[in-house]
Structure 1
């Protein structure tokens, strides 16, 4: 009992991933299952009963995003307003540098399963533990890919006890931090394609993100019709880190 050992837990996750294992770890937007190995990512795909066209997202932080993504000045200002000024979680879809050491370290089949049309999705601001894990993987030149820890189509899980057993059985380590910070949104991350400024998925903090886009940049995005109408939040079928 007591405070969480974020650095110690991040090291356990890093050690598992770097040894070719798979993990379930908590984030502010929900629990995710991830790995570095293409074979383990495929096992997670199979456990999730995930369609082949679905894509993984890369776990990231702001520093890795700036190094990997190739993005215009205005688009970067928008990301900075969301991720830095407001401190909100956002999954950025944008062209990427294939020669970056972290990307180059990924196997070809892993990249195929994690990119679409020359773009890569990277999740930013998902909480202190994921940020610490990414700091370690970044320093080691290792990519970390994953998706939400749930059977496809059943929605993001915000507690470990709600994760279905096939997903638990597919990993080597489960880190339980209790209820996720943004559980009340009942969706995963908000995903935006910054090549087109198209919303791929309405997710956590979409109300705040859409307000920033409108007020600060004059960009109108679709209204959220609500979970009863659009439970997954998907506006375009392709979203990386999809349920």
Structure 2
């Protein structure tokens, strides 16, 4: 593996997805699998053995978040504090803004698989390749959707070699950046927080830091991280989003 080039790799990934393919992508939080159309999303669900009742996550930056999520100013400040001021990854569940120009590009199947009860899960600030992909996604007006690059209930994967064969074999492109930044023995990925209720949908990486930020700056009290065995179980239980 040579010098990493996130911008060039993002273009290769995006082109492969726009041609109808599935992509296995290294993010800071874990390897993930993405697509941009109904055929690719069906392929992902089949390869993972994932229930179609479980929605995808969508890659986002601040511009996408501001357009797609219909949330109050406090929620926007929370997201910016965590992802910009403290530079941490975060998945956020928020009310989907109906009629926005960005998700208007989704066909009915992809829309149904990427929303739940009027909300959408957005993954924010998950590393250099995530940053380059979300810039392309925003510029081209094409949402990028997916979930962890693992079979259902298989736990997050932090090396490409550890991604199970059915998922790798389904991909038109796999990009290898070695070990993910936030690799951990619990096999947990990003923390997921609901911006409407501040419920924790998934206890994930950087959770204690995120909890501290919300308590100190916003007086929002989140529960402590569960004990090791319990958080592992929660990570494998496939949250409502992501």
TM range (shorter): over 0.9
Unmatched 5+ residue regions in structure 1?
none
| Match in the other structure for 1:14 | 14
Aligned ranges 1:120-135 → 2 under 5 Å: 120-135=120-135
Task: Identify if the C-alpha distance between structure 1 residues 78 and 236 changes in structure 2 by more than 3 Å, giving closer, same or farther.
Answer: farther
| Match in the other structure for 2:168 | 168
| Match in the other structure for 1:206 | 207
What whole-Å deviation, never above 9, does each CA across 1:164-203 have from its counterpart, x for those lacking one?
Answer: 0000111100000000000026311100111111111100
Q: TM-score, normalising length from structure 1?
A: 0.94
Contact 1:200 1:236 in 2 (8 A): no
Q: TM-score, normalising length from structure 2?
A: 0.95
What whole-Å deviation, never above 9, does each CA across 1:196-216 have from its counterpart, x for those lacking one?
Answer: 111111001101001111121
What whole-Å deviation, never above 9, does each CA across 1:62-118 have from its counterpart, x for those lacking one?
Answer: 121112111101111111111111111011111122322220101111111111111
Aligned ranges 1:1-243 → 2 under 5 Å: 2-184=2-184, 186-233=187-234, 238-241=239-242
SS in 1 for 2:123: strand
Task: Identify if the C-alpha distance between structure 1 residues 228 and 163 changes in structure 2 by more than 3 Å, giving closer, same or farther.
Answer: same
Task: Identify if the C-alpha distance between structure 1 residues 236 and 173 changes in structure 2 by more than 3 Å, giving closer, same or farther.
Answer: closer
Task: Identify if the C-alpha distance between structure 1 residues 124 and 112 changes in structure 2 by more than 3 Å, giving closer, same or farther.
Answer: same
SS in 2 for 1:87: coil
SS in 1 for 2:54: coil
Contact 1:102 1:142 in 2 (8 A): yes
SS in 2 for 1:63: helix
Unmatched 5+ residue regions in structure 2?
none
SS in 1 for 2:17: helix
Which 10-residue stretch deviates more, 149-158 or 209-218?
209-218
Aligned-partner Cα distance in 2 for 1:172–1:235: 26
CA RMSD in angstroms comes to 1.6
Aligned-partner Cα distance in 1 for 2:30–2:182: 7
Aligned-partner Cα distance in 1 for 2:105–2:211: 35
* Deviation of the 1:47 alpha carbon: 0.9
Aligned-partner Cα distance in 2 for 1:196–1:6: 35
* Deviation of the 1:151 alpha carbon: 0.6
Between Structure 1 and Structure 2, how many residues are aligned?
241
* Deviation of the 1:234 alpha carbon: 5.0
Task: Identify if the C-alpha distance between structure 1 residues 232 and 122 changes in structure 2 by more than 3 Å, giving closer, same or farther.
Answer: farther
Aligned-partner Cα distance in 1 for 2:80–2:134: 19
